[in-house]
Amino acid sequence: MIKHMSTVFSLITLMMITSCDLIDDNSGNPGPDTDLPIVIAHRGAQSVLPEHTLEGYTKASEWNADFIEPDLVLTKDGHLVARHEPMLSGTTNVADLPEFAHLKTTKNLDGKMVTDWFASDFTLEEIKTLRAKQAFSGRPTDFDNLFEIPTFEEVIQLAKAQSLTRGKVLGIYPEIKHPLFHNEIFGAYFMEDQLLKALSKAHWNHKNAPVFVQCFEVAPLQYINSKSTVKLVQLISTYNINKDGSLDYNVPDGDFISYGAPYDFFVNGDDRTYEFFTTEEGMKFTTTYADGIGPWKPFIISYRTEDSGELTLLEPTDFIDLAHDNDLLVHPYTFRNENMQWSQGNPEAEYHLFFDAGVDGVFSDYTDEAVQAVSTWED
Could you list the active site residues?
42, 84
Neighbouring C-beta atoms of residue 330, cutoff 10 Å = 27
In 142-178, alpha helices (H): 152-166
Neighbouring C-beta atoms of residue 182, cutoff 10 Å = 24
Cα 226 off chain centre by: 21
User: Of 370, 9, 373, 362, whose CA–CA distance to 169 is shortest?
Assistant: 9
Cα 147 off chain centre by: 21
Run of H or E residues at 107: strand 105-109
Rounded to whole angstroms, what are the CA distances from 371 to 40, 181, 352? Answer: 9, 35, 11
CA dihedral 84, 87, 91, 97 (to 10 degrees): 150
Q: In what order do the strands lie in the sheet with 231-236?
A: 80-82, 71-74, 175-176, 212-215, 231-236, 292-295, 329-330
Contact in structure between 60 and 44 (CB atoms under 8 Å): yes
Contact in structure between 257 and 114 (CB atoms under 8 Å): no
* Helix 190-201 with 219-227: angle, nearest 10 deg: 40
CA angle 19, 20, 26 (to 5 degrees): 95
- Phi, psi (rounded to 5 degrees) for 81: -125, 160
Going by DSSP bridges, is the β-strand pair 105-109/112-116 parallel, antiparallel, or unpaired?
antiparallel
Length of the chain: 379
